[in-house]
Structure 1
Amino acid sequence: MTTKKLWGGRFTETGSAQTDTFGASIEFDQLMAAEDLEGSLAHVEMLRDTHILTAKDAEQIIQGLHHLQQQLAAGQLQFDVANEDIHMNIESLLTQEIGPVAGKLHTARSRNDQVATDFHLYLKKRLPQVIQAIKNLQTVLVNLAEANV
């Protein structure tokens, strides 16, 4: 029997807990949970609109994702290192929420697409803050330079 890990393939055993912790990116990825849910909602809506998923399946997934968004906003989602990253954690939580239909969310979606979309959305939301911080730093440096000519 293969492991349940994404990379499991022909492996019959998982690595040690140390290996799981070392290979997991959830410590950082959890910062992109809102973006992962946002991207997943857009993706399932596309699957519904193109009739790749039935309206019933899509609605069930959408409701599950909305519930996860509410739990995230309330600080109630618990992420697990065993699930390695935010994508596997969200999939696991969604499966707990709505059952096996959650697996259909990955239809027509590569892992790389998901990672790139999440990271793009994450940066898009945070870059204005970074730009403002740089402007504030520039102002402080100019003021210090003027005061210390």
Structure 2
Amino acid sequence: MKLRTRFRALRPAGMLLLCLGIILISVTSLYAQDVNITGKITGTGGTPLPGVSIQVAGTTKGASTGADGQFKLSAPTGSTLKISFIGYLSKEIKVTNANPLHITLEEDVQKLNDVVVVGYGTQKKATLTGAITTVSMAEQEGRPITATHCRVFRVYLPT
């Protein structure tokens, strides 16, 4: 009889621990749910764009599109995706559960002749400072492929 009374005293504490465990499990499943995002990025003509940069804003997570314009990325729900590609206007999209995404980038009205690609970005030709050189294909004809750097630095080596 004494054994039964001891277990009856533990019964409310056991129920309390069980309820607390269920609450903790449900709260952790709601915290920061990542969504697997897939999609395709195309230009205004419908052609797939290879090498488009997709980055989750405020993080180091990112991806780039393959040759067919397809990408796959994992990001938290509600975060923002920054999509950029040289010669096209950048776009920001909010992450939802809708999959797959089909994103169309519009061409930048700025002429690519006025844009110079430098290290980690692009600049207008007018605002760029530094040494720039161009090598035309007419200068390259009849030269070995390995001598291209000599033409850039205006070094003439005997061939």
* TM-score class normalised by the smaller sequence: under 0.3
User: Per residue, is there more helix in 1 or in 2?
Assistant: 1
Instruction: Give the TM-score normalised by structure 2.
Output: 0.26
The structure with the larger Rg is 2
Higher strand share: 2
